[in-house]
Amino acid sequence: MKASVCFAFAVVCWFAAQAEESPKYLFLKKVMNELDRINNGLETNKSITLNSPTINDLEDCCVKSALNCFQSKVLYLPVVDSKLKTLQKIIQKELLKIVNRVPNCKPKELEKAQCKQCDSYKEVDSQTFVKNLKTLLQKMYAS
């Protein structure tokens, strides 16, 4: 009897944990799916480059500034389809929501982290830009 009560309690706890996490997961998954649609509709013009943070560039306190960089550059992705241009605006707004959800670091931690300005990140082609953004979002979900 005790074992079945413990098992039931464990199952309820597991479901409660999943319920707390699912809105965040679903939101990030939605943004990543939208990024996949954008990525599939990118012009193959390699002359367009965008500043892009990479995972190697980031410390925990710099996630917010990196997201701000992605958010500021996403409208420059070279798409031709008007539906994708609308989707770019949606992604930009959703990234702003994500940025606003990221907790601020303490001033001493932020000073120690020495986050880069957006224009100081390496310029990459648009497909790499989208890949780097998705990698950052996946890292955020995992943490």
Q: pLDDT for 61-101, tens place per residue?
A: 888 899 999 999 999 999 888 888 899 999 999 999 988 88
Asked if residue 62 lies in contact with residue 112, where contact means CB atoms within 8 angstroms, the answer is no
- Does residue 9 fall inside a structural domain? no
- Does residue 138 fall inside a structural domain? yes
- Does residue 3 fall inside a structural domain? no
pLDDT classification of 4: cutoffs 50, 70, 90: very low
pLDDT classification of 3: cutoffs 50, 70, 90: very low
pLDDT classification of 21: cutoffs 50, 70, 90: low
Q: What is the mean pLDDT of residues 113-123?
A: 90
- Does residue 84 fall inside a structural domain? yes
- Does residue 79 fall inside a structural domain? yes
- Does residue 16 fall inside a structural domain? no
CATH number of the domain within which 60 lies: 1.20.1250.70
The domain tally of the chain equals 1
- Does residue 86 fall inside a structural domain? yes
Domain span at 61: 23-142
- Does residue 56 fall inside a structural domain? yes
